[in-house]
C-alpha cells in the first residue's frame, strides 16, 4: 500500500500522513466549492449556456484538472475554472465585444494549446525561474493578503463603500457576525494545533450559520437546499454537458480580436498560476532554499495546461490552479493525495450539490484569512532597506489585494524591479528574461 501511494501521489510513509492529506483535500474543496455556484451564475448571462450544464462542466473540469495534478504532478493543488477569467469570458468577450460564447471557448482552447507548447519547450519554467527571489517572496505574501481579503469579503466583514471603496461591515449581525465568530474559533483551533483545525472551523461555522439570521434577507446565514415540497434536499442528478460540449467556432481564429482575447487569457492565467504555485510553496516552506526553485514545476504547469484544454472541450472558461489550495496546504497537505481527495469531493458534489452548496461563504472565509496569516513569513527575509528591491516587492504585495488581481501584482512588480534597478544603474542585477518580461508587460498594459 505504501509503495502504491508513493508511486501514485509522491506519498512517503514516514513523512506524510494519510488522514492529514485527506482532511487537507476536503479543506481545499470547501474553500473553493463556491465556484460550483458562482460559475453557472456568471454564465447565466449568456443564451445557450444552461446553468445545469455549466455546473456539470465546472465540476468535471475541476475533477479532470485536479486528478492530473494528483497523479502526474503529485502536488496538493486543486484546479477549477478561474474567477476573473470567467468574468472576462462572459462580460468582455461575449457581452462587450459581441462575440459568441463559442468564439470565447475557441480562444480558451487555443490558449490551452499554447500553454502546452510553452510548457513542453520549458518557456513557462524559464520565465518563472527568472523572477528574482525578492519578488518570489513578495508574491507569497501578496497572495496571502489577497486570499485573506477574499475571506473578509465573503464573510461581509469588509464591504463596499461609495466614498472609500471598502469599509468595515457590521460585525455584530448576520453574515459578518458568523464569519467573525468562525474566525475566532478557527484561530483558536489552529493555535492549539488541533489536527484538521481549519476544516473543523469551517464545519462549526456553517452550523453556527443555521441559528444566526441575516438582517438583509431575514433568513439564516446557512441555507439548506430544499425541494418544491419544502423538504431538505440531499441528492440531485447532474445535468448533461451536451449543449456546450466541444462547441467551437474556428472561422474567426485569424482575427485581431481573437489574438487579443487569447493573449489576455494567456497573461492572466499564466501569472495567476505562477503566483499561486510560488505563493503556496513559499507558505508551506517547500521551496528549494538554495536557488528558490520549485520542484516538479514543469509537471504542475503541464497539468494546468491540459486542464485548460479539457475545460474548453467541456464548455467552460479557463481552468487554472486555485489559490485556495493554500487552505489545504495550511491544513498539512503536501502530496498528490490532497489533490486526489479534493477531486473526489468535486465528484461527490455532482450528486450531493445541495449539501455542499449549503456551506456559506461566511463559513469558509475564516479558513482563507488564517491561511493568509500563514503565508506572511516570507516577507521577513526581504531586504527592506534596499529600495531597489523593497519598492517592487511592496508594489507586488499591495497591488494583489487592492487591484484584486494576482497577475497584475506580478506584472507591475516585474516592471518596477527593472525600472528601479535601471535608474540606480544596477544593470547587472537585471537578467535578460526580466528585460523581456518588463517590455512585454508594458506593451500588455498599452494595447490590451
Would you say residue 416 lies in a domain?
A: no
Whether residue 6 lies inside any domain: the answer is yes
Q: At what angle do helices 101-120 and 297-314 cross, to 10 degrees?
A: 160
Work out the average pLDDT over 252-277: 82
Residue 61 has pLDDT above 90, yes or no: yes
Evaluate whether residue 396 is within a structural domain.
no
CA dihedral (145, 148, 150, 152) positive or negative = negative
Q: Between 86 and 308, whose confidence is greater?
A: 308
Confidence category of residue 87, pLDDT binned at 50, 70, 90: confident
For the segment 131-136, the average pLDDT, to the nearest whole number, is 87
- The average confidence (pLDDT) of the chain is 88
pLDDT at 285: 64
d(CA 8, CA 187): 33
Asked whether residue 417 is domain-assigned, the answer is no
Residue-number span of the structural domain to which 59 is assigned = 2-377
**Residue 197 pLDDT greater than 90, yes or no:** no
Q: pLDDT tens across 93-105, in order?
A: 888 888 899 999 9
Top pLDDT among 319 and 292 is at 319
Separation of alpha carbons 6 and 262, rounded Å: 38
Whether the pLDDT of residue 120 is over 80: the answer is yes
Residue 422, domain member (yes or no): no
Burial of residue 360 (number of CB atoms within 10 Å: 0-12, 13-18, 19+): buried
pLDDT of residue 198: 85
| 435 found inside a domain | no
pLDDT in tens, 359-406: 888 988 898 898 888 888 878 889 999 999 999 999 999 998 998 887
What is the domain count for the chain? 1
> Who contacts 432 (Cβ-Cβ below 8 Å, separation ≥6)?
none
Question: Coil, strand, or helix at residue 271?
Answer: helix
Amino acid at each position: 500500500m505504501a509503495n502504491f501511494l508513493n508511486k501514485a501521489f509522491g506519498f512517503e510513509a514516514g513523512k506524510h500522513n494519510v488522514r492529514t492529506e485527506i482532511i487537507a483535500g476536503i479543506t481545499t474543496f470547501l474553500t473553493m466549492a463556491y465556484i460550483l455556484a458562482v460559475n453557472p451564475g456568471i454564465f447565466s448571462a449568456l443564451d445557450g449556456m444552461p446553468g445545469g450544464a455549466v455546473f456539470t462542466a465546472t465540476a468535471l473540469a475541476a475533477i479532470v484538472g485536479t486528478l492530473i495534478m494528483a497523479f502526474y504532478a503529485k502536488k496538493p493543488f486543486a484546479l477549477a475554472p478561474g474567477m476573473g477569467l470567467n468574468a472576462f469570458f462572459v462580460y468582455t468577450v461575449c457581452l462587450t465585444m459581441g462575440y459568441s460564447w463559442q468564439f470565447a471557448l475557441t480562444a480558451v482552447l487555443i490558449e490551452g494549446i499554447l500553454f502546452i507548447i510553452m510548457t513542453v519547450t520549458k518557456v513557462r519554467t524559464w520565465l518563472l525561474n527568472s523572477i528574482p527571489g525578492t519578488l518570489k517572496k513578495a508574491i507569497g505574501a501578496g497572495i496571502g493578503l489577497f486570499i485573506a481579503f477574499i475571506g473578509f469579503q465573503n464573510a461581509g466583514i469588509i464591504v463596499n463603500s461609495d466614498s472609500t471603496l471598502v469599509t468595515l461591515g457590521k460585525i455584530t449581525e448576520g453574515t459578518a457576525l458568523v464569519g467573525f465568530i468562525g474566525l475566532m474559533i478557527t484561530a483558536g483551533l489552529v493555535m492549539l494545533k488541533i489536527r484538521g483545525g481549519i476544516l473543523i472551523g469551517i464545519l462549526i461555522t456553517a452550523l453556527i450559520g443555521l441559528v444566526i439570521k441575516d438582517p438583509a434577507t431575514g433568513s439564516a446565514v446557512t441555507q439548506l437546499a430544499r425541494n418544491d415540497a419544502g423538504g431538505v434536499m440531499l441528492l440531485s442528478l447532474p445535468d448533461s454537458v451536451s449543449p456546450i460540449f466541444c462547441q467551437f467556432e474556428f472561422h474567426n481564429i485569424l482575427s485581431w480580436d481573437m489574438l487579443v482575447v487569447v493573449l489576455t487569457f494567456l497573461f492572466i492565467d499564466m501569472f495567476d498560476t505562477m503566483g499561486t504555485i510560488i505563493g503556496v510553496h513559499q507558505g508551506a516552506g517547500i521551496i528549494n532554499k538554495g536557488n528558490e526553485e520549485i520542484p516538479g514545476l514543469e509537471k504542475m504547469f503541464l497539468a494546468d495546461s491540459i486542464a485548460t484544454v479539457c475545460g474548453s472541450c467541456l464548455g467552460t472558461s479557463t481552468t487554472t490552479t486555485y489559490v485556495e489550495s493554500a487552505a489545504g496546504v495550511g491544513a498539512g497537505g503536501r502530496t498528490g493525495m490532497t489533490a486526489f481527495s479534493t477531486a473526489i469531493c468535486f465528484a461527490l458534489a455532482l450528486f450531493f450539490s445541495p449539501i455542499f452548496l449549503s456551506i456559506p461563504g461566511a463559513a469558509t472565509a475564516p479558513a482563507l484569512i488564517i491561511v493568509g496569516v500563514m503565508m506572511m513569513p516570507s516577507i521577513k527575509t526581504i531586504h527592506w532597506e534596499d529600495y531597489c528591491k523593497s519598492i517592487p516587492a511592496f508594489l507586488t504585495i499591495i497591488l494583489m489585494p487592492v487591484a484584486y488581481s494576482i497577475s497584475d501584482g506580478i506584472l507591475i512588480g516585474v516592471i518596477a524591479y527593472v525600472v528601479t534597478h535601471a535608474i540606480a544603474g544596477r544593470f547587472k542585477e537585471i537578467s535578460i528574461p526580466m528585460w523581456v518580461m518588463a517590455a512585454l508587460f508594458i506593451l500588455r498594459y498599452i494595447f490590451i
